[in-house]
Amino acid sequence: MTLDSLHRTAYGDDHEAFRATVRQFLAKEVQPHADQWEKDKIVPRELWLKAGELGMLCPTVPEEYGGLGLDFGYNAIVDEELAYGAGATLGFSLHSDIVVNYLIAYGSEEQKREWLPKMVSGEVITAIAMTEPGVGSDLQSIRTSAKKDGNHYVVNGQKTYITNGQNADLTLVCAKTDPDVSPGWKGVSIILVESSRDGYRKGRNLDKIGMDSADTSELFFDDVRVPMTNCLGEEGKGFIYLMSELPQERLSIAVSAQASAQGAFDRTVEFVKDRKAFGKPVFDFQNTRFTLADLKTRLQVGWAHLDWALARHLRGELTPEEGAAAKLWHTEFQWDMMDKCLQLHGGAGYMNEYPIARAWRAARVTRIFGGTNEIMKELIGRSL
């Protein structure tokens, strides 16, 4: 099965040629190993290097820093193809859609030349550390600190639920450089912390209910000294930077959610046409056809909205509220799709050997990460 992109409006011929390369890569390098990586709960670093060779990592990085200088549509294609049928969660989108944007937009020339080429090649894997124990979507309340000591920051604190945490060579750490300023968001900065620094410790690879192949970690910082040149952009502007980049992050989540929903639907149609009950295919029951007809209709609406949002983002017009709405709608739809498709599988849907079970488990977190959907509603509501 392949994702049907013939009627899409967001992409051109060059995008679709790139899609063909991505599909070949996934078929050769990912799908045969997905089950093992799910068991290992991590993807080997060698895969990142192979993806880098094909230009699948950070395609928006300008050519002067070793990238291809392409638009976000190429990122979206990687996201779609991975979500549709790769069978494993690789952590590429966090690296390519989120972290790299901060460096491109706010990094110093020295930081860009040091890190961007290695991110493109897959030599360096990145993470961003925002969430802390007891602190979810409220970034103003983080307790991790970065205190000045001469020409260094001394970082102390703990982070959790960090995607790529085990594999990461470089982590963008959200920390308070001024804990006394009010309101609290004015004291937040983003500090680049290499995993080789003394006092930087990777905790356990967290045991999740889904997306098992994507390593997710606790991180600890005990008097980690980094030069002040490792501050990303201006000190105290971290919260503003985070808010500025959220539309793309949330659009990225929406892209993956929609493609994941399509993958679940396509596999379920195949299953119910093959599986029999009371002497006839499950597909021949009116309830099955009506359920699938409703889901098919919502898929059509979803793809139209997604292409609209992608087009706006490529023009630089997607607003934070529109990004939040895209994340909200597509992840809620994804979850409803997974639940209905699993139901149509009957008892087989509850067995991990069937792709729908893995997809159902992986889908649950999309309404949480990138800001919970309750926060999305709050953001949209504030704009009314």
| Residue 188 β-bridge partners | 176
Q: Is position 16 annotated as part of the catalytic site?
A: no
C-beta of residue 254 within 8 angstroms of C-beta of residue 306: yes
| d(C-alpha 91, C-alpha 165), whole Å | 10
| Three-class secondary structure of residue 220 per DSSP | strand
Kindly give the pairing relationship between strand 276-277 and strand 280-281. antiparallel
**Is 226 strand, coil or helix?**
strand
User: Which residue out of 249, 321, 322, 378 is catalytically annotated?
Assistant: 249
Alpha-carbon span 112 to 159, nearest angstrom:
25
Closest to 188 in 3D by CA, of 231, 124, 250: 231
- Answer yes or no: are the C-beta atoms of 185 and 239 closer than 8 Å: yes
Query: What is the greatest pairwise CA distance in the chain?
Result: 79
The Cα–Cα gap between 32 and 41 comes to 16
Q: Is the peptide bond before 183 cis (omega within 30 degrees of 0)?
A: yes
Under 8 Å between Cβ of 328 and 372: no
DSSP string covering 42-107: S--HHHHHHHHHTT-S-TTS-GGGTS----HHHHHHHHHHHHHH-SS--SHHIIIIIIHHHHHHH-
Burial of 231 (0-12, 13-18, 19+ CB in 10 A): buried
Q: Which residues pair with 158 in a beta bridge?
A: 220
The answer to whether 205 and 167 are in contact (CB under 8 A) is no
Report the catalytic residues.
Answer: 249
